[in-house]
Structure 1
């Protein structure tokens, strides 16, 4: 299993590895993640310890809505628990039967616009635990549900580390032509031979060749999920790292990167700070690509966004 390693430089300039540990109480981990849910996982908080009613007889640790407007169920385990996947499937089953209840919760917490934008095609489960067994990781790739397995460690200095160790894109509940691709840590999820190309249905003919090169650049970073949504294509790990939008009239592709615009020397017509500008997709830095040369120029920014994710 992939290990999360953290180092601190001592007074002599040597790197000393910090030893990670687990939390004493599960609720300690839950409250810590909930407090920074949007920053850590790109998920807006809705509810904690949410009861699923007499039929499902459960209590969901955390409910949320992610940056792509997908409903999210989060479960925390202080240690390793072989029953986490069966619990995940059970709660996602409840979610499928509780559309109106969930949307009412979104409306009360985030407003009517957010409730109207809930995307029921890709509900998601995030399991955060100290570790997962080999059987858990194999099972995730066989299940039709969309599930992320996230390993945590706490370190001295009040540091918290989260590592995506495996992920399944799940099966879409819509028949629209699209593909979700995941390269998980240590494994590659197979795709049907009949799966359409990434972005099928969204990519204008005039931009297909350029997008094919961009797609290759965005998926060259290991564990990357590609999800075609209604208006854009998201490239994500635990959170969206890049969102791709097409502008066929201008023969341009706009890439919104999860990168601080203040750390970039902005160039008119190429990069733009969109923190205060409404746009589809997620990301604070807009990169405008109109040619292969522009894509090559954007490559260092793409690399920085993925290295920081």
Structure 2
């Protein structure tokens, strides 16, 4: 069980005791109604019936910020079978790509359907708790899996805690590890930009446990449950990083930080950080941490 304790400080200090949902459907309904806010995933379908001899229903289907397919399974308490059940549905999904594309086209349009990222499908398991064996098991699978523990606090609050997040070892992920943050190889960059890209990658991955990296053609996303940074391929003299930090809460510095809300840009996040040299990265560390905390 999570070690988090919540206290109400009005009129003294009173602990707000955590509790499980009355029914699994309560958690599923709340997440589906607020999926983009809670998980950074666009909702596609609930109780999706799969066409196979053994039958089955996927609790929730979605598309994340990087256009990767997402299977979401829920359990009210602790269940040893939720991961294997989710992996079964992921296998069906990747074998029936046309059916998923048709669903995306119906819900989100043809443009989204044409950009589905099949190299990085995700499984998110939302449950009351997980065992240490669950946490160990997800590290053994060659799939992208997030284990998310929930707790209700009183009548008005719910907490979500990422217990474990693992990136699948797909071919594209391997390329991302061999090439700095999935960006063009150092031979195609200037030496300074190559070193800066390596330093940015190390800084973002080092912000905490459970940071995963997803490579797209236009950017590389760094995420917990949600993206918190997107790094674009380096230009001749600078590297652009888009963060989830609120631009309105940042003292913007011309030539270093910019509010790109409403402007066309690659990746997610409305705060653009422009890095030209190592000392710019040092200045950006606090912004990186704020964006990580907000994801």
TM range (shorter): over 0.9
User: Distance between the aligned counterparts of 2:54 and 2:253, measured in 1?
Assistant: 54
Aligned runs of 1:162-201 on 2, under 5 Å?
162-172=160-170, 174=172, 177-179=175-177, 197-199=180-182, 201=184
Count of residue pairs the alignment pairs up:
291
CA drift at 1:235? 1.0
User: Distance between the aligned counterparts of 2:172 and 2:293, measured in 1?
Assistant: 33
Match of 1:271 among 252, 257, 263: 257
Which residue does 1:182 correspond to in 2? none
User: Distance between the aligned counterparts of 2:99 and 2:271, measured in 1?
Assistant: 35
CA drift at 1:138? 1.1
TM-score, L = length of structure 2: 0.93
Deviation track 1:175-229 (CA, whole Å, cap 9, x = no partner) reads 87223xxxxxxxxxxxxxxx55533536652211112222222122212112222
TM-score, L = length of structure 1: 0.89
Which residue does 2:201 correspond to in 1? 215
User: Distance between the aligned counterparts of 1:308 and 1:6, measured in 2?
Assistant: 19
Aligned runs of 1:255-294 on 2, under 5 Å?
255-294=241-280
Which structure has greater helix proportion?
Answer: 2
Report the more deviating stretch, 57-66 or 154-163. 154-163
Aligned runs of 1:129-144 on 2, under 5 Å?
129-144=127-142
Which residue does 1:147 correspond to in 2? 145
Which residue does 1:10 correspond to in 2? 10
Match of 1:74 among 37, 50, 72: 72
Report the more deviating stretch, 151-160 or 221-230. 221-230
Deviation track 1:227-266 (CA, whole Å, cap 9, x = no partner) reads 22222111110100101113323x1111111111111122
User: Distance between the aligned counterparts of 2:181 and 2:173, measured in 1?
Assistant: 15
Question: What is the SS of the residue equivalent to 2:175?
Answer: coil
User: Distance between the aligned counterparts of 2:240 and 2:52, measured in 1?
Assistant: 48
CA drift at 1:2? 4.6
Match of 1:158 among 153, 156, 159: 156
Deviation track 1:103-151 (CA, whole Å, cap 9, x = no partner) reads 0000010001000000110111000000111111111111112111110
CA drift at 1:5? 3.1
CA drift at 1:10? 2.8
Report the more deviating stretch, 265-274 or 153-162. 265-274
Structure 2 residue runs without a partner (length 5+): none
User: Distance between the aligned counterparts of 2:85 and 2:171, measured in 1?
Assistant: 21
- State the Cα RMSD in Å: 1.8
